Amino acid sequence: MPQLNPNPWFFVMLLTWLTFSLIIQPKLLTFTPTNPPSNKAPTTVKTTPWIWPWT
C-alpha cells in the first residue's frame, strides 16, 4: 500500500511546516489588528430571574 510509505509525505509535511513557521507566520504577525482592545471598564448587566408560571 503506497499510503503507508512515509518517505515522500514526511518531507512534504516538514517543508510545509517550515515554510509556514519561517516565512508566512512572521509576515502575518506584523499586521496590526483592525479592532484593538480598548481600556474601557467592562459593564455588568443586571439580570432578573426567570419566573416560571407553574411554580
The answer to the question of residue 18 being in a domain is yes
The answer to the question of residue 7 being in a domain is yes
The answer to the question of residue 44 being in a domain is no
**Alpha-carbon distance 43 to 41, whole Å?**
6
The answer to the question of residue 40 being in a domain is no
For the segment 33-50, what is each residue's pLDDT rounded down to a tens digit?
A: 777 777 878 788 888 888
Q: How many domains does the chain have?
A: 1
The answer to the question of residue 16 being in a domain is yes
The answer to the question of residue 55 being in a domain is no
Confidence of residue 15 (pLDDT cuts 50, 70, 90): very high
Confidence of residue 16 (pLDDT cuts 50, 70, 90): very high
pLDDT at position 17 is 92
Question: 14 lies in which domain range?
Answer: 1-31
Q: Is the pLDDT of residue 25 over 60?
A: yes
The answer to the question of residue 47 being in a domain is no
pLDDT at position 3 is 67
The answer to the question of residue 5 being in a domain is yes
pLDDT more than 70, % of the chain: 93
**Alpha-carbon distance 11 to 16, whole Å?**
8
CA neighbor of 25 nearest in space, from 17, 33, 35? 17
